[in-house]
Structure 1
Amino acid sequence: MTYTLRTYTPADETSWLRCRVLAFLDTAFYDSVVPAKPVIAAPGLELVVVDGTGSVAALMDTGIEGDAATIDTVAVHPDHRRRGLGRQLLDRTRDWARSAGATTLDAWTRDDVNTLAWYHAMGFDESDHYLHVYANHYSDPSEPTRAITEQRPGIHPVVIFGHAPLADERQLRSEFARVHVDRRFAQRL
């Protein structure tokens, strides 16, 4: 199959969204669904790899602030995995980040085995960590109530998403069904 790596255009949005949703379904971000492509502030970089039909097969969005570039989104459509598309996107992103004056390229991701392996294989070092905690009524009706310290009359929490320190992992895993370790991966450019 022939692929083309190029800059994202607004005409790609529907295909971009489809690629992102399908790529995330079998990861720890399975419910991270957005109805529109998030805006990447200038001078950020928005890349796509399209297949022969023009459909987005892979994508990478990267922002930059000062000397740090951060990969905000990277996704490869399940039908196009293991073909080096992520590596191609990363290579182009590294070149862009260097030329934009960044000295570090980083990304934050959850505890998904394949994703963690990819970042390690691409030369990133793992550093900072914190927790993503979900308190969901459908997992356990008492989870949302346990997650808040003061209830407001008339509001009944159903799903709560929060950040917590890594030091609280053992306790939070005993209280909530869904807890992820969010990790920072970084590499010097």
Structure 2
Amino acid sequence: MYTIREYRPDDEPQWLECRLLSFFGTDYFDDVKTAKTVLPDPQLCFVAEEDGRVLGLIDVEVDGQCATIDSIAVRPDAQRRGIAGALLGHAIQRLPAGVLTLDAWTRENTEANAWYRRSGFVENHRYLHVYKNWDEPNDGYASPEGLSAPVMAFMHADIEHEAAMREKHGRVYLCRQYLRPL
């Protein structure tokens, strides 16, 4: 049985592995980190651990009356055991007094979107994540003198440009903000 505890600095290698493996099969497959994100205080960082192995994680940034899930992940071989829900519940219980909302951002992954809705979140906002791949035209891109046109790029776009972005780029994701009142 797993336990939930505060993140410790010596958890970083397992934190990175857990996040990488969890994100690999999703639209965030290339959101690879080589070091754990350092959030400003106040912050909440917890891991679910079993037999010395990190199975899941949640990091929450707190900004006044709002809190944001920066990362939540469960290793694929530990999914469907209630770990993400337990981590979420644990973090919510430990939020400072006065926090009124918790938000999270995700892309088009069906399972992630369904999990947020089941967990009491409602969609609040959406925009696009747009990638220019190396094999796509450089039309419309400019670079400072001395640099080539972008080989790859990651950009944001307003939702009303979705059709045009999908026509021009092979990787366009709908990014949703979910909000949960507390």
Asked if these proteins are the same fold (TM beyond 0.5), I'd say yes
TM-score, normalised to structure 2, is: 0.96
Shift of 1:146: 3.1
Shift of 1:96: 1.6
- Are the aligned partners of 1:147 and 1:160 in contact in 2 as well (CA < 8 Å)? no
- Amino acid in structure 2 at the alignment position of 1:128: H
Query: Partner of 2:124 in structure 1?
Result: 127
1:161 counterpart = 2:154:
yes
Q: Distance in 2 between matches of 1:106 and 1:147?
A: 34
Shift of 1:93: 1.3
Shift of 1:153: 4.2
Q: Which runs of 4+ in 1 moved over 6 A?
A: none
Q: Distance in 1 between matches of 2:66 and 2:175?
A: 19
Residue 113 of structure 2: SS of its match in structure 1? helix
CA root-mean-square deviation? 1.1
- Structure-2 change in CA distance of 1:15 and 1:121 (3 Å): same
Query: Partner of 1:107 in structure 2?
Result: 104
Residue 139 of structure 2: SS of its match in structure 1? helix
1:185 counterpart = 2:172:
no
Q: Which runs of 5 or more residues in structure 2 are unaligned?
A: none
1:6 counterpart = 2:15:
no
- Amino acid in structure 2 at the alignment position of 1:159: M
Query: Partner of 2:81 in structure 1?
Result: 83
Q: Which of 54, 57, 66 is equivalent to 2:55?
A: 57
- Amino acid in structure 2 at the alignment position of 1:74: I
What percent identity do the matched residue pairs reach?
41
- Are the aligned partners of 2:136 and 2:169 in contact in 1 as well (CA < 8 Å)? no
Q: Which runs of 5 or more residues in structure 1 are unaligned?
A: none
- Amino acid in structure 2 at the alignment position of 1:38: T
